[in-house]
Amino acid sequence: MTNQLAQPESAYETAQSQLRSVAMMLDLDAGVTELLASPKRELTVRFPVRMDDGTTRVFTGYRVQHNEARGPVKGGLRYSPLVNLDEVRALAMWMTWKCAVVNIPYGGAKGGVTVDPRAISEAELERMTRRYAAEISIIIGPEKDIPAPDVGTDGRIMGWFMDTYSMMHGHSVPGVVTGKPVELGGSFGRIEATGRGVAYITAEACKRQRINLRGATVAVQGFGNVGSVTARLLAQSGAKVVAVSDSRGGIYNPNGLDIEDHYARRKEGGLLGDHPNHGVDHDDITNEDLLTLPVDILIPAALEGQITDQIASRVRCKMVVEAANGPTTAAGDTVLAERGIYVVPDILANAGGVVVSYFEWVQDLQSFFWEEKEVNSRLERIMVNAFNEVASMAEQRIVRLRQGAYIVALKRVVDAMKMRGIYP
Ligand code: GLU
């Protein structure tokens, strides 16, 4: 039953409830579960930035490290007015499972600043980034914790971050962040990696579910870096992308949208709603309408908490592929399960970004760079193997894909914790 008065479920609540349900299934030690249910280390920083008009503004930022049993911690930096400590905790926890599910040697972390990056100037954004980088540098480093882009951040910001850290250390340290421009030691294929990974995983999921991707209808919520690349690659594979949206709202054409055109316009900084043919070859829809369209594949690629129990009861797709982190609440997931809707969980579906971040870090540490073809084919191998491993685990345990992914990930993390033992 939906309680109309209930507070909306927070990302941290979703993450903890996902962990606890699988920990129970695996009969995990209570102490281990308690340790994994909260992050290992949390840093909150408040720092001043000189604004263009000469005033001083104080910003709040975070860096949270969830678990480092399997290696240095890894995860993005988010710039958004919605960033808060609980959200960063959830995102850090999901990074631990994500790295474990695709078996790359990292633990999970996340960071962010509570700011609307579009509401400050480029120079202010640079000064804010540099000061934030300096503030969190006490727990960051290529052998400790390696940030990357996330919502509201990009290669340019990673470049400033890398430069600031390098200035503080007196030499260039490219391996301190990933998602950098290629000119600064970034990897070919990193920008598209998350969307490319989502596309590989969607193709595998379609094979399992006997859905023909060619001609399948797709709705993508979010037309940022992840959503736009996903939509474009799926359209190139012959899928019919009928709806996409950005933060202002969405567009819908049941006969399919011209994704190449929208993709090219986005690269120029255009918003979906500003298209010259706006209202001619598609209808305007809200983000909520998009989630409940009759499509084969629904891809939430925006923010967490979108598919609540109420939305889940109205969703009309065969399959959800979670390209965003935490787009489905725990209550929403229960409803999707009851309704028999196949869900490919975020920690598997969107792991392509951190996989190519791992490749970037390896290339930086070795100062030896790969061609894009090699990056993409290694990415494909890792994503396809991870999907099959998770799907087999889910079949074997007779659970859903999300639980299957959590079981694979938790086993790896818990095994590493056990082998390392407890210090001292
Ligand atoms: N922010 C991305 C994520 O949520 C990438 C993290 C990384 O590359 O370290 O997976």
Q: Is the pLDDT of residue 279 over 70?
A: no
Strand 249-252 relative to strand 283-285: parallel, antiparallel, unpaired? antiparallel
Comparing 39-173 with 193-349, is the CATH topology the same?
A: yes
Active centre residues (catalytic): 110
pLDDT at res. 268? 87
Q: Using DSSP bridges, classify how beta strands 73-80 and 145-149 pair: parallel, antiparallel or unpaired.
A: parallel
Residue 4: the pLDDT is 52
How high is the mean pLDDT of the chain? Answer: 96
Pocket test for ligand 1, best of 354, 355, 361 (most atoms within 8 A of CB): 354
Could you tell me the distance, in angstroms and rounded to a whole number, from the CA of residue 1 to the centre of ligand 1? Answer: 35
Give the percent of the chain with pLDDT over 70.
98
Q: What was the pLDDT predicted at 282?
A: 81
Neighbours of 261 (CB within 10 A): 12
Over range 297-305, report the average pLDDT.
97
Given the candidates 3.10.20.740, 3.40.50.720, 2.30.30.40, 3.40.50.2300, the CATH classification of the domain at 193-349 is: 3.40.50.720
Q: Is 357 in the pocket of ligand 1 (CB under 6 A)?
A: yes
| 144 Cα: distance to centroid of ligand 1 (angstroms) | 16
Q: What is the mean pLDDT of residues 253-274?
A: 91
Q: Find the farthest-apart pair of alpha carbons in the chain and give their distance in angstroms, rounded.
A: 68
Residues in the chain: 424
180 lines ligand 1 (CB under 6 A): no
Q: What is the mean pLDDT of residues 42-58?
A: 98
Query: What is the secondary structure of 222-288 as a DSSP string?
Result: --SHHHHHHHHHHHHTT-EEEEEEETTEEEE-TT---HHHHHHHHHTT--GGG-TTTTTSSEEE-HH
The DSSP code for 115 is S
In short, whether 353's Cβ falls inside 6 Å of ligand 1 is yes
Q: Which ligand 1 atom lies nearest to the CA of residue 76?
A: 1
Q: Which residue bears the tokens 């938790």?
A: 410
How far does the centroid of ligand 1 lie from the alpha carbon of residue 218, in Å?
24
What's the confidence (pLDDT) of residue 374? 98
**pLDDT value at residue 2:** 44
- With a 6 Å cutoff on the Cβ, whether 178 touches ligand 1 is yes
pTM above 0.95, yes or no: yes
| Model pLDDT, residue 344 | 98
**Residue 6 clears pLDDT 70, i.e. is over it:** no
- Contact indicator for 144, 175 with CB cutoff of 8 Å: no
pLDDT at 267: 87
Spans of all domains in the chain:
39-173, 193-349
Q: Which CATH class is domain 39-173?
A: alpha beta
Task: Tell me if 360 CB under 6 Å of ligand 1.
Answer: no
List pLDDT tens digits, range 141-181: 999 999 999 999 999 999 999 999 999 999 999 999 999 99
The whole-number pLDDT of residue 3 equals 46
Question: Quick one: pLDDT at residue 275?
Answer: 75
Contact 344, 401 (CB under 8 A): yes
Stretch 365-384: mean pLDDT: 98
Q: Using one digit for the tens of pLDDT, what is the confidence trace for 388-417?
A: 999 999 999 999 999 999 999 999 999 999
- Any atom of ligand 1 within 6 Å of the Cβ of 150: yes
3-state secondary structure of 228: helix
Residue 209 vs residues 93, 190, 277, 292, 319: alpha-carbon distances, Å: 29, 29, 36, 20, 9
